[in-house]
Amino acid sequence: MTTMTENASGLREFKMPDVGEGLTEAEILKWYVQPGDTVTDGQVVCEVETAKAAVELPIPYTGVVAELHFPEGTTVDVGQVIIAVDVSGGTAPAQAPAAPAVPAAPAAPVVEAAPAEEAKPQGRKPVLVGYGVAESSTKRRPRKGAEVPAQQSETLYAATAIQGELNGHGHAVQQRPLAKPPVRKLAKDLGVDLATVTPSGPDGIITREDVHAAAAPAQAPAPVAAPAPQEAPARVQPQAPAPAASYDGARETRVPVKGVRKATATAMVGSAFTAPHVTEFVTIDVTRTMRLVDELRQDKDMQGLRVNPLLLIAKALLVAIKRNPAVNASWDEANQEIVQKHYVNLGIAAATPRGLIVPNIKDAHTKTLPQLAESLGELVATAREGKTSPAAMQGGTVTITNVGVFGVDTGTPILNPGESAILAVGAIKLQPWVHKGKVKPRQVTTLALSFDHRMVDGELGSKVLADTAAVLEQPKRLITWA
């Protein structure tokens, strides 16, 4: 997507970029610059929170900040201008010949000016988390009309590039109303023809509010009795929503659903009502595992690493997956196929101030115990700092959620979308347990494994849970089974 535009006065507008993960909006958490500040190519100008993580956004050119288009705390759609920078000090000489060239010879100057403008975005492109925005050829299409004046051509190009790419069908979008897919779905659900809706969004884009406004008059007569006059619905309708919308501010607090919380809610609802969940439980004696944890903390090869029960639980699950590889799969609804994964990207559910996230350890099955401990430590530290990248949360295959840290025995976890299984670990407590024929105090915990019953049968799920439990009861199986 084109993330910058420039007008004749040398003012460059930087748009909210698309990180390439299918996200459509981001919230501006903090501005690091103010109007009048000088910025340089690659300087971080703000921190934004997408639906997956908080990331810093660098600007791809040098100049003076002219305007911040949105205050902190505003949710901005991908493609909207967020900051304007005056770069006339560095680019004015290069652009000076372009202005007089238009009246003298309209065709030739426009052909030469277009590549000059296009060459700038193709140089350094803004990134969010270490990778650039994908190249796009759609921005060239609106420039075929050489007869259009420079200012009008640039306006047409900017609007077409943003609108076309946001809607996924290039410059042809001018042939139908401009709206993003979620808005189109809303209009379809409410029975609203987008061609009859007056847009209020930037560049003529139809927003959710426009659709609701268009739907309100059509829906108003529905609840009114047939014999009632037409004026009655108009009087009754404004009064009905008023009591429903009011609430006691002293007794209630309304928190906007956005960012990570919004993404989590969408993912959990989608998972719960798409994958048929089955959850199995097992309570086990992990006294030997806890002793091994204490021994590993004293081992010189583990010095400086985070050694805790979660480390051995993760290793036990990896051994169980190796013994039952069919559990490591995903469901391809479009092709009606089960995709077997020959790698394990082990997700670790982490509670952060911004909400629940599930980063994963790539190729966890290949790591030694010290390497796994190092990866776990880095994952947890990055999550707590709120610096987990979207890439770190993509491609997970199986997840562990440690609810025991909150003192609860276990839970029935919901699958991370696209994954086949999730293991919940309860609190490890000293409890009476029959050991070698006698009741003794032992370290006991409960494991719960939820799996997608479309591709994981009860037998397979039971074997995975039983093998994980067996390793934790007898940690020497880490050697004999691995």
User: Distance (Å, rounded) from C-alpha 336 to C-alpha 322?
Assistant: 25
Query: Among the options 69, 169, 212, 453, which is catalytic?
Result: 453
Q: Which residues contact 97 (CB under 8 A, 6 or more apart)?
A: none
Helix (H) or strand (E) holding 245: helix 241-245
What are the CA-CA distances from residue 39 to residues 4, 33, 35, 94, 127 (Å)? 15, 8, 10, 20, 16
Q: Are 330 and 454 in contact (CB under 8 A)?
A: no
Task: Please tell me the distance from the alpha carbon of residue 398 to that of residue 345, in angstroms, as a whole number.
Answer: 7
7: buried, middle or exposed (CB in 10 Å: 19+, 13-18, 0-12)?
A: middle
- Number of Cβ within 10 Å of residue 439's Cβ equals 9
* 301 phi and psi angles, rounded to 5 deg: -70, -15
Mark whether 342 is an active-site residue: no
Q: How far apart (Å, rounded) are the C-alpha atoms in residues 186 and 29?
A: 28
The residue type at 123:
G
DSSP lists the bridge partners of residue 424 as 401, 448
Please give the angle made by the CA atoms of 27, 28 and 34, to the nearest 5 degrees: 165
Longest dimension (CA), the chain: 101
Active site residues: 453
